[in-house]
Chains A and B, each alone.
Chain A
Amino acid sequence: MALNVLMFYLLSAVIVICSVLTITTTRILRAAFYLLCVLVATAGFYFMVDYQFMAGVQLVLYAGGIVVLIIFSILLTSHISHKFAKPEASRLIMGVLVGVSGFALSTAAILKFTFTPTTNPAMKVDMQAIGLQLLGTGKNGYVLPFEVISILLLAAMIGAIIIAKKGK
């Protein structure tokens, strides 16, 4: 077996096991840690398909930013030793049923569909190509969503400050 296939199975195992543990563990801080494992393994996927920029963004923004934010809010709102009660049986059954049936349905659809890759020659993905397309205004230019998302981030930042600040 080639080494990269082995690496793929390793990353897949980490993702599958840790995403199940994220939603089943009874300690909230451990859930955050398992989520971190899932996100880092996803960054490994991006490295495997040679999208280094995407992997860097994944590591910095998701694993570095969002998980730290989540851990901070956990420490602010609950005791570390706090354990969840087990969920009610009806809700557990409903959740597992939805998850399993949805997974079975989408797996069947994926296995049935034949994916036909394009025959055009592959593009070399380097920082220059990404930057030129991200701020380009012509064909394959993404400057409008870039600006929209910058305004969205500004609005979210101001909104978060206003919501979380202590009222008088």
Chain B
Amino acid sequence: MLQGIPITSVLIVSAFMFFAGVCGFIIRRNMITILMSIELILNAVNINMVVFNKFLFPDQLQGQFFALFIVGIAAAEASVAIALVINIYRRLNSISVDKVNEMKY
């Protein structure tokens, strides 16, 4: 409990965000929107880490550091994914995942 805000309500908001990301990952067919869904998922995890740190263990900083490292990994992942998307667009003229099946058979 932090000044009238219970931990469960924050966790429910972040769970909603996580499953919105999962849902978008399944529904969307465009590579960049799939990347956005992944960012939503990672961001929800970050909120969880920080909130657990602040509400349950305020004498330590573990959650905050994990969130920091997750942000760093998300940046690396986004840069590599966007490089791949640009390369695929250059070769196939499309970034729909339905059309990127050249190596499948």
Residues of A within 8 A of B (CB): 2, 4-5, 8, 12, 15-16, 19-20, 22-23, 28, 31-32, 35, 38-39, 42, 45-46, 48-51, 53-54, 57-58, 61-62, 65-66, 69-70, 72-74, 76-78, 84, 87, 91-92, 94-96, 98-100, 102-103, 106-107, 110-111, 115-118, 120-123, 125, 129-130, 133-134, 140, 142, 145, 149, 152-153, 155-157, 159-161, 163-164, 166
A149 in contact with B69 (CB, 8 Å): yes
Which one of A66, A129, A130 has the highest number of Cβ atoms from chain B below 10 Å of its Cβ? A66
B36 in contact with A159 (CB, 8 Å): no
Interface residues of B: mostly helix, strand, loop or mixed? helix
Give the chain B neighbours of A123 by CB distance below 8 A: 58-61
Give the chain A neighbours of B87 by CB distance below 8 A: 163-164
B5 in contact with A8 (CB, 8 Å): yes
B83 in contact with A159 (CB, 8 Å): yes
Place the interface of chain B in its size category.
35 or more
A50 in contact with B54 (CB, 8 Å): yes
Contact (A4, B75) CB under 8 Å given A31-B33, A129-B61, A163-B87: no
CB distance from B9 to the nearest CB of A (A): 7
Residues of B within 8 A of A (CB): 2-5, 7-13, 15-30, 32-33, 35-37, 39-40, 43, 46-47, 50-51, 54-62, 64-65, 67-69, 71-80, 82-87, 89-90, 95
